[in-house]
Structure 1
């Protein structure tokens, strides 16, 4: 008899756990059913991509996207929808770029390039010079000024193909795109050509952001990306003849900053309205394609999270916001502004989820959080197993939600299958036709499911922090 009370207590706990688990299974089933049979994400993406198009920060299309998404969020019947002002850079590509390899006067081979975002233009007649190939900044340093001055630097370090994580492969070579001009300028280079960040061999150049740091405007050198096929060609031709020349012309221009907006919609919490959970993606995109994967997919999935919560009859305890950030691609102004305003208002953010890895089949999430919160997430894995969601790892949350990071906030990133992502990333084939409706809707449902669970069970407090009531 002395063990009767502990056994009864344990039995009650087990029954309660089983009951919660069964309830959560039913709720997740309803969320996925709603998304797959009555989802709005694909229709919203269709409009963003095909009726508006590429949404470069500071552009007319970016303005149109702000107005459209605000209007669609208002149609959902949220408690609040508003625009958050943010100043953003305005860079314009100008006329289509042109380039060729010259083996001797009058004998040329045309190649595919595009200006890197933020680059200066060439002179009106273009730039022609000898070219040197390197695969790292260390190789550039070894060449020294005597071998680089007056020449174009060709960075040709490919993404590492044997890495299963394509984002890891991207991270292993993107510094040559972002900082290549800064490093080349140190040795007197007159221009930069960078191998596109793409695992596939094709003819599409991939743009992306670059920096000049504190280099004076008059000393900045033009920078462009070259397609992977043409990078291979250029490298082979340089092996045969180091004296060949490279010509390129681009007419891009940087203007003064302009006013834009983050778009925010909110369902106010029923019990803890001053605890905020956000889902988001970035509304801006590069201009070569229509930005369907990067990041139209994340935008419409985040919008649909709020709609799916309402359609599934879920009344969140905490305030849930969809934040459509402006200017992730070339400045992160929207993410920084949102965090700045949240800090000024002393808003208590407890959770943030970002979708910025394409609209492919969801595989799971990466989490930037405490061990206690990560262990709670691992307990939810069986709920996601029926949907083949199995990837739950510690890692990176996302660029736009990064400024919200504190020890008390859980940051999460949706992780879709990434094997095809860099075929489209920042290129002209990042278009609506390459997004699968069902995969996009599975991602929206998966995000909604995680938001539901964190809202229901709360975030584990950091040590010495007052526990959150549930």
Structure 2
């Protein structure tokens, strides 16, 4: 009887203590959101990055300005350490604005296009040829060289609207943009036009990187707006011999020295255990890259600023990482992982925000099952803030190399609502005015709440 009473008291003490800890965590997380929603700095900082610096393609003057700005901003917040990681990045330039038209009989219809990132130019004059519409790479291959030789290939497979998680639709449709130009070149095509990866009908062409196969000729490749793609497809149904003409003056210049920018709050108890949170500082050149990925950068800096303003001293070292060159090379992410391995750094977790500044929904996790379960145990603390979607999922492009270099690191992607993201992704309408202040500040607070729990408990049995 005495033993049972003793065990009951121990169980009661443990449960009471756990309840007290949970209550204290709930109060602190509430304070994080209060600070972000009353004094948040993400929106103000994004305003400067978007409207004073603008589009920040790797190798550009604007990218260099963004490096210096983000370093000075984190220094002004009094972070314990702010420093640069040197990395060589590609330098591709778009050149004069692209032009395109559909020509059938005496009719000429202009359509909106933009060069795909890394594309070669059409030369000094426009490229004009017959055009063939296909939906898939397999459909292209089935045509054979005899039908493709000397033609422009038009990839016209839309993103699948049935996916509620729109990033799945993006991933499925992306092969035509990435591999399409080289697959067409293998069969003798002279150019490629790709339907923009966009779930909306509009006149904005969406750029994005292609991957040239060095074993075949490099042919010019452009994205056409969804409205333009539908117009071209419709006209091809009535005239399969129509001509498509497009003109681009892009070129690839020698690599340029650039930097990842890193700010730290040094851990007070376990400084050698690192929690990184980041976004990519570069953006495409068509707009100011507000959602992709100015929001992720300003939210990541905000995580550290929130802790600093609340006088919270972390147990572990917390880093805000501004990665360079996610859009057309991922060289910043690879350099960060390389140096982490060289320096024998130990990452508890890395969180990436690269899905826009929309309403927070949760976190996607890449890691060992027990680590994923540990994160899911915090759902009751995060659910009051709309963070219900916590489970396995893609974490992020820039932190991917870190997962390969540090097998113990758990990779986490911040998940905002994705329904509007691809309306702006890689297009000229990805501008500051499309970002909602409250949604953006909620995102920074959501990331800070998770970092707080990771810092306090880790992912190894609450140590």
Instruction: List alignment gaps of at least 5 residues for structure 2.
Output: none
Partners of 1:236 and 1:196 in 2: CA distance: 16
Task: Establish whether residue 64 from structure 1 lines up as the match of residue 65 from structure 2.
Answer: yes
Partners of 2:287 and 2:166 in 1: CA distance: 21
Q: State whether residues 357 and 416 of structure 2, in contact with CA within 8 Å, keep that contact through their aligned partners in structure 1.
A: yes
Partners of 1:312 and 1:23 in 2: CA distance: 15
Deviation per residue, 1:350-381 (Å, 9 max, x gap): 21000000000010001111221122112211
Shift of 1:155: 0.2
Q: Which residue of 2 aligns with 1:428?
A: 428
Query: How many correspondences in the alignment?
Result: 460
Deviation per residue, 1:104-157 (Å, 9 max, x gap): 2x4210000000000000021110000000000110011111110000000000
Matched residue SS, 1:172: helix
Partners of 2:134 and 2:373 in 1: CA distance: 45
Q: Which residue of 2 aligns with 1:120?
A: 120
Root-mean-square deviation (CA, aligned residues, Å) is 1.0
Deviation per residue, 1:7-56 (Å, 9 max, x gap): 01100110111000110011100100110101110011000000000000
Q: Which residue of 2 aligns with 1:201?
A: 201
Q: Which residue of 1 aligns with 2:313?
A: 315
Q: State whether residues 332 and 398 of structure 2, in contact with CA within 8 Å, keep that contact through their aligned partners in structure 1.
A: yes
Deviation per residue, 1:43-90 (Å, 9 max, x gap): 110000000000000000000000101000001111100011000000
Q: Which residue of 2 aligns with 1:325?
A: 323
Partners of 1:107 and 1:407 in 2: CA distance: 59
Matched residue SS, 2:284: coil
Partners of 2:366 and 2:304 in 1: CA distance: 23
Shift of 1:313: 2.4
Q: Which residue of 2 aligns with 1:129?
A: 129
Q: Which residue of 1 aligns with 2:181?
A: 181
Q: Which residue of 1 aligns with 2:446?
A: 446
Partners of 1:202 and 1:318 in 2: CA distance: 47
Shift of 1:399: 0.5
Matched residue SS, 2:167: helix
Partners of 1:278 and 1:222 in 2: CA distance: 38
Partners of 2:91 and 2:425 in 1: CA distance: 21
Q: State whether residues 294 and 426 of structure 1, in contact with CA within 8 Å, keep that contact through their aligned partners in structure 2.
A: yes
Partners of 1:214 and 1:9 in 2: CA distance: 68
Deviation per residue, 1:157-184 (Å, 9 max, x gap): 0000111110000001101001111100
Partners of 2:320 and 2:80 in 1: CA distance: 12
Shift of 1:347: 0.9
Q: Which residue of 2 aligns with 1:466?
A: none
Q: Which residue of 1 aligns with 2:172?
A: 172
Partners of 1:285 and 1:245 in 2: CA distance: 33
Task: Establish whether residue 265 from structure 1 lines up as the match of residue 263 from structure 2.
Answer: yes
Partners of 1:56 and 1:155 in 2: CA distance: 26
Q: State whether residues 376 and 391 of structure 2, in contact with CA within 8 Å, keep that contact through their aligned partners in structure 1.
A: no
Which of 229, 232, 235 is the equivalent residue of 2:233? 235
Matches within 5 A, 1:346-357: 346-357=344-355
Partners of 1:220 and 1:213 in 2: CA distance: 8
TM-score normalised by the chain length of structure 1: 0.97
Matches within 5 A, 1:377-392: 377-392=375-390
Q: State whether residues 160 and 169 of structure 2, in contact with CA within 8 Å, keep that contact through their aligned partners in structure 1.
A: yes
Shift of 1:389: 1.4
Matches within 5 A, 1:335-354: 335-354=333-352
Q: Which residue of 1 aligns with 2:107?
A: 107
Partners of 2:144 and 2:377 in 1: CA distance: 55
Q: Which residue of 2 aligns with 1:287?
A: 285
Deviation per residue, 1:401-432 (Å, 9 max, x gap): 11111441111000000000000000000000
TM-score normalised by the chain length of structure 2: 0.98
